Amino acid sequence: MAHILDTNADGTTVGQRELPLGAPLGPGATIAAAREATGETWVLISDVAVRTLVNGEAVPLGIRILQSGDEIRTHDGATAAFSDERLASVVTFSAGGTPVRCGRCTTELEPGLTAVRCPSCSSWYHEHPEFPCWSSVPFCAVCGVATGRGAGQIAEET
């Protein structure tokens, strides 16, 4: 899921928000996803009467396709960076009918327990006190992507 990194005046990241469909960014600006067969394209929709900038340029027609790394500034001075990078997040696992094995310990994940899905290869991992299979290793056992262990890159379920 795409997300916004809120920044302060000197560009330091001060917060992070996942973007649901039709997420308001600020006064007069909304970010929405257009679903495609190959994934999602994220667009900024802004009120043309309100000054919204993307990478320092106005959005004269009120719509702009976003790319990862775009800086968005709303008329109230709020600045954010857009990212379409998927983040690992701790969620309550639901099986969906097919048994799923953990990418690290290879035991079956049980519905109702917390787990993490690798943002790169979509492999599932246990992530709870008895089996911290995702956060206890530095890399995904399947694809090798960094797990973010100790870097605060795992979002808690909300």
Q: Are residues 75 and 92 in the same domain?
A: no
* One domain for residues 78 and 145: no
Per-residue confidence (pLDDT) for residue 39, from 0 to 100 = 66
Looking at the structure of the chain, the number of domains it has is: 2
Q: Indicate whether 67 and 133 sit together in one domain.
A: no
Residue 121's domain spans which residues?
Answer: 88-158
On whether both 76 and 37 belong to a single domain, the answer is yes
Is the pTM for the entire model greater than 0.75?
Answer: no
In this structure, the answer to whether residues 130 and 67 fall within a common structural domain is no
Question: Last residue of some domain: 52, 83, 114?
Answer: 83
**In which residue are the tokens 């802004």 written?**
46
Give 108-152 pLDDT, tens digit per residue: 998 888 999 888 888 999 998 888 999 888 989 998 888 875 444
pLDDT at 130 (0 to 100): 86
- One domain for residues 69 and 118: no
Task: Kindly report, residue by residue over 64-87, the tens digit of the pLDDT.
Answer: 998 888 998 888 888 888 887 777
Asked if 11 and 79 sit in the same domain, the reply is yes
Domain boundary among 29, 59, 83: 83
28 and 69, same domain (yes or no): yes
**Which of 59, 83, 107 is a domain's end point?**
83
Q: Are residues 74 and 26 in the same domain?
A: yes
